[in-house]
Amino acid sequence: MVQDGVALPLEGVRVVEHGSFVAIPLAGMLLAQLGAEVVRLDPAGGAADLGRLPRSENGESIYWASLNKGKRSVALNLRNIAGRELATRLITDAAPDAGVFLTNVIGRPWLADEELRTHREDLVHVQLTGTPNGGAAVDYTINAATGVPLLTGPGDLGVPVNHVLPAWDVAAGELAALAAVALERQRARTGSGGHLRLSLADVAVSTLGHLGFLAERSLGIDDRDRDGNFVYGTFGTDFPTADGERVMVVAITPRQWRELVAITGLEEAVAALEQGTGVDLDDEAGRFELREALAALLRPWFAARTAEEVAATFADAAVLVQRYRTVDELVHACAGEASALESDRAPEGNARPAPEVTAGVVSWLDQPGIGRLLAAGSALSTGGRSIAPPTAAPTFGGDTEPLLAEVLGLSRTELGRARDAGAFSSG
């Protein structure tokens, strides 16, 4: 793939993706946005995510289209020997930069690594499972086992709170994409591919370990508990404003903390709190210890001002302040930026500006079967623009015959025979 006359990093690499829901489709899409040709291989009739909510007015899955941007779609009858043979040939194609396979499908002998490797010894194979032993699990069940839902929400709440972002799926998808790139690089350097496995459970537990959750509890440190919107280990929380909005305020560094105190006129009150408690508030550990008292001191200042006034006051400060917005407000802001980009003009100013989104990260896209919608491209950028603005998702199965002809070299006659053998249908 070439973007603005510049080849993307994975140009020429072909990836076959055989999976559903979030992690593996996300991994494939990330590779596509880096320039790889990604072929989504589905069973005839579609995988379980083909019609997943949300759907457009005509019933097309917006979810499926969003996670499959920039790919090609092949649908084969994988219950049929002829269909499986074609799928195997696609996965293990002998072209130098082909033979990269992403999947979350397990328990299929014909897709076992040792079987696929008999067709291509240097196969790059990345496989995602739910649990380390290959058991089934999804983000929501993995999350329940991590303890995170019992650290989320108001401190006096006695029930678990699930967050709406499938964080373990996202982390697993990004790690799967990284694994594929690492193995492909290894193959280019040594001639040897490889098989890497990851599970949602391992991704979740390792991530918590990297962030210190495991170490602190194993050392008997247990001060990270459910605490509303307070930021652990420093000072940060939300405040209501005079117009009924809420803003998130974070002061991590000494400079940010000093500016927050100065702007809100609380120097004397904070000094008195330090003197009365003996806690050093220049240390973020001290600010965390006295977070409730500090929040109580700050609350009247924010309550006396509108969110717009708060934003204006802190516009040039180091303190991190952000008004809470609805998803609709985010979409409205991004739509304005995307429309301005299309027309090559600056977005109109308003009281609630769009976030800092690099040009091309969000753009208008004409998606077949759905219509014109906002879509996301790559978050990687160069020269102030996304390296890969979004491109449309394929029509389900729409590339089956053209791709079989192109990649496997099947003639019309051979395609007809495969169709007659039940490998795929024309509809």
Instruction: Find the mean pLDDT for residues 223-234.
Output: 94
CA–CA separation, 105 and 402 (whole Å): 25
| Summary mean pLDDT of the chain | 95
pLDDT of the residue at 352 = 42
* Nearest residue to 70 (alpha-carbon basis) of 96, 100, 38: 38
pLDDT of the residue at 30 = 99
Inform me whether the pLDDT recorded for 348 exceeds 60. Answer: no
The string of pLDDT tens digits covering residues 246-299 is: 999 999 999 999 999 999 999 999 999 999 999 999 999 999 999 999 999 999
pLDDT of the residue at 157 = 94
Catalytic one among 169, 202, 328, 420?
A: 169
Fold of domain 2-209+397-420: Rossmann fold (3.40.50)
pLDDT of the residue at 354 = 46
What ranges do the domains of the chain cover? 2-209+397-420, 246-323
pLDDT of the residue at 141 = 98
Residue with tokens 């001060």: 223
Catalytic residue at 243?
no
Of the chain, the percentage scoring pLDDT greater than 90 comes to 91
Residue with tokens 């067709």: 119
What is the per-residue DSSP string for 84-131? HHHHHHHHT--STT--EEEE---S-GGGSHHHHTTT-TT-EEEEEESS
Instruction: Find the mean pLDDT for residues 204-228.
Output: 95
Is the CB of residue 386 less than 8 Å from the CB of residue 379? yes
Is the CB of residue 357 less than 8 Å from the CB of residue 337? yes
The pTM of this model reads 0.94
Is the CB of residue 321 less than 8 Å from the CB of residue 264? no
| Angle of helix 254-263 versus helix 267-277 axis, rounded to 10 | 120
